[in-house]
Amino acid sequence: LRNFPFFQDLEKEDLDKLSPLFLTRTYEKDTDVFREGEAGDELYIIHSGIVKIYRDDEVRDIILAIFRDDDFFGEMALLGNEQVRSASAKTMEKTVLYVLKRKDFVSLVHDTPKISLRILETALDRLRKTNEMITDLTMRDARTRIIKMMHRLIEKHGVSQKSGVLIDLKLTHQQIADMTGTVRETVTKVLLDLQNQQAIEVKKKKIYICNLAEFERLVET
Ligand code: CMP
């Protein structure tokens, strides 16, 4: 647990107390961890793998966030007034999760101000990103939304390579559409355009941004 940013402020004796409370659970790719509206009784920390947080109706999905190792999720149903899941969570590849039960999580938050602060900081960062997303959805055209989304993905999923950055996520055009409030055909067109301009390359479903400085100029314009 020491390796998780979440726990790095804890004293060794607190960590020793905490470790046995975690269960480990393995999920195959494309498996629901939970669905929006279900009662929630557990918090999850990602040991390995990728999880998408999304909302859906019969017609389409909207992806709110994509989490990977070291991220946690599921805290809202445990700390918020509404005790149900505010969104669904599904694995995008085989994933191993650490699971903490509500009562253990709540006593951890009560007993450890540093952990509470970290949860608050993370929740506020997520709120800030969601605000950005709402602004983009209402004020930007689809091409700009897609470019800004790629730029946002770099923060968590970017790996530097040569002069550029690889977004280390296998994404379908449909998933990019679900993150940017557009349709698959538009994503296909915008990605082709950006490839023709040599701004990006797509390698095995992963997007490589060829030159970060130049790409950032695209984000600004
Ligand atoms: P919970 O409501 O228990 O279940 C869904 C989880 O998704 C939620 O807790 C948060 O951990 C996470 N989540 C919900 N909304 C967002 C968002 N806008 N951005 C990032 N994560 C979110």
Ligand 1 atom showing the smallest separation from residue 78 Cα? 3
178 CB burial (10 A radius; 0-12, 13-18, 19+): buried
| Model pLDDT, residue 17 | 79
User: Hey, whose CA ends up nearest to atom 6 of ligand 1?
Assistant: 74
> Model pTM?
0.93
pLDDT over threshold 90, residue 12: no
The predicted pLDDT at position 145 comes to: 95
pLDDT digits (tens, 9 = 90+) for 61-84: 999 999 999 899 999 999 978 889
Calculate how far, in angstroms, residue 113's C-alpha sits from the geometric centre of ligand 1: 21
Tokens representing residue 149 in the block: 């989304």
- Amino acid letter, 28: E
Q: Is the CB of 63 under 6 A from ligand 1?
A: no
Query: Distance, CA 135 to ligand 1 centroid (Å)?
Result: 19
pLDDT band at 221 (very low <50, low <70, confident <90, very high): low
11-15, 110-114, 130-134, 200-204: segment of lowest average pLDDT = 11-15
Name the H helices within 74-112.
76-79, 102-111
Best residue for ligand 1 mutational test, from 44, 53, 56 (most atoms within 8 Å of Cβ): 53
What span, in angstroms and rounded, lies between the C-alpha atoms of 113 and 46? 22
Our answer on whether the CB atom of 83 is closer than 6 Å to any ligand 1 atom is no
- The pLDDT tens digits for 84-137 are 999 999 999 999 999 999 999 999 889 888 888 989 999 999 999 999 999 999
Q: How far is the CA of 162 from the centre of ligand 1 (A)?
A: 34
CA distance linking residue 200 with residue 194, whole number of Å: 6
Query: Is residue 211 within 6 Å of ligand 1 at its C-beta?
Result: no
